[in-house]
Amino acid sequence: MKNKAYVPYFFIAPAVILFSVFMLYPILYSFVMSFQTSVGGIMEFNGIENYKRLFSDEIFLKALKNTFILLIIQVPIMIFLALVLANLLNSSILKFKGLFRVTFFLPAVTSLVAYSIIFSIMLMNDGVINQVLMSLGFGAIPWLSDPFWAKASLVLAITWRWCGYNMIIFLAALQNIPDQLYEAADIDGASRFRQFFSITIPQLKPVILFSAVLSTIGTLQLFDEPYTLTEGGPSDETLTIGMYLYQTGFRYFDFGYASTIAYVIVILVAIMTYFQFKIAGDSE
């Protein structure tokens, strides 16, 4: 039996070959391209010029700022809501759990483009959301035409799409928290509210970290939603790094600089992930 050492290699071969050709090679190649620029259609090295250009590129800096604003506002709101929902769904007195679970997860099944279109139509000036607001006596909100509200629209839409997805992850982890912890807290007279912050959240920390890292990676690459929902507007106020990369690469065909922007995303993901792990590790 022992001489069949090739067997595992046979099993991983298709995956490794496809991965190398379509993932590993492009990742490395775009790193090389991030130091190149096109001179008369031929890629030539230009050192760190592309990286220097980033710092004086106002549109890039704006995209960077927008992406971070979305990240800082959207991810905590979504994770908090997902935690609350998971906690409610985990309640022992609740019936129809499966039905609620599927209902909350359903948004995560839909295509990013499709839901962005639906939200875009709902959020138009004379759209259904403003109609409801006005009939309740509030004023209409310029959702898609005002810099602040355009960002709020994106936060709203992304939270709708991803909240249930994170909720499912938290729900799984909640079922692993020993009941005795809550029973002891009940005896000590701790309120539900207190239990949520003093037992649930600390117990779920590794999973919250996992979700936060995934959501951060997702937000740093954000493309489909701003492309469809706000088209980056008004006046680039919702332009994200992902969108700017697409424009640079496939509207202006500046592949070198677009690769540099891609690597900015790679570097940011690495830094953010490092800090998230560090923060989570320190408070332990």
Partner 1 sequence: MKKRNVKVRKFGLYFLLLVGALISLFPFYWSAIGATNESGSMFTKPPTLIPGNQLLENMSNLNEQIGIGRVMFNSLFISITYTIIALFVCSMASYAFAKFKFKGRDIIFTIFLLSMMVPYHATIIPLFKMMASWGWLNQYQAVILPNIAYPFAIFLMRQNMLAFPTALIEASRIDGASEWKIFYKVVLPSMKPALAATAIFLFMYQWNSFLWPLIALSSTDMYTFPVALSSLFGLSRIDYGQVMTGVTLATVPIIIFFLSLQRYFISGMLGSALKE
- Find the binding residues for partner 1 in span 25-44 (CB under 8 A): 25-27, 29-31, 33
Q: Determine which helix (DSSP H) or strand (DSSP E) holds 42, and give its type and residue range.
A: strand 42-45
Q: Report how far residue 225's alpha carbon sits from residue 21's, in angstroms, rounded to the nearest whole number.
A: 29
Q: In the structure encoding, which two tokens stand for residue 143, read together? A: 């959702």
Stretch that binds partner 1, among 51-59, 63-71, 83-91, 140-148 (CB under 8 A): 83-91
Told to check if 180 binds partner 1 by CB under 8 A, we report: no
Please calculate the CA angle 231-115-233 and round it to the nearest 5 degrees.
15
Site string for partner 1, 125-164 (x = CB under 8 A): -xxx--xx-xx------------------------x---x
Told to check if 191 binds partner 1 by CB under 8 A, we report: no
Told to check if 63 binds partner 1 by CB under 8 A, we report: no
CB of 206 to partner 1, least distance (A): 7
Told to check if 19 binds partner 1 by CB under 8 A, we report: yes
Residue 151 or 211: the one with the smaller Cβ distance to partner 1 is 211
Q: In the structure encoding, which two tokens stand for residue 38, read together? A: 């096109």
Residue 59 or 128: the one with the smaller Cβ distance to partner 1 is 128
Environment class of 193 (CB within 10 Å of its CB; exposed 0-12, middle 13-18, buried 19+): exposed
Do 133 and 139 form a contact (C-beta atoms < 8 A)? yes
Residue 151 or 204: the one with the smaller Cβ distance to partner 1 is 204
Told to check if 168 binds partner 1 by CB under 8 A, we report: yes
**Looking only at residues 231 through 260 of this chain, which bind partner 1 when binding is defined by CB under 8 A?**
242, 245-246, 249-250, 255, 258-259
Told to check if 117 binds partner 1 by CB under 8 A, we report: yes
Told to check if 122 binds partner 1 by CB under 8 A, we report: yes
Environment class of 281 (CB within 10 Å of its CB; exposed 0-12, middle 13-18, buried 19+): exposed
Told to check if 182 binds partner 1 by CB under 8 A, we report: no
Told to check if 59 binds partner 1 by CB under 8 A, we report: no
Which distant-in-sequence residues (6+ apart) come within 8 Å of 261 by Cβ? 54, 60, 241, 244, 245, 248
Single residue of 48, 88, 133, 184 touching partner 1 by CB under 8 A = 88
Residue type at 46? N
Do 74 and 158 form a contact (C-beta atoms < 8 A)? yes
Q: In the structure encoding, which two tokens stand for residue 221, read together? A: 């690459």
CB of 198 to partner 1, least distance (A): 19
Q: In the structure encoding, which two tokens stand for residue 228, read together? A: 């469809």
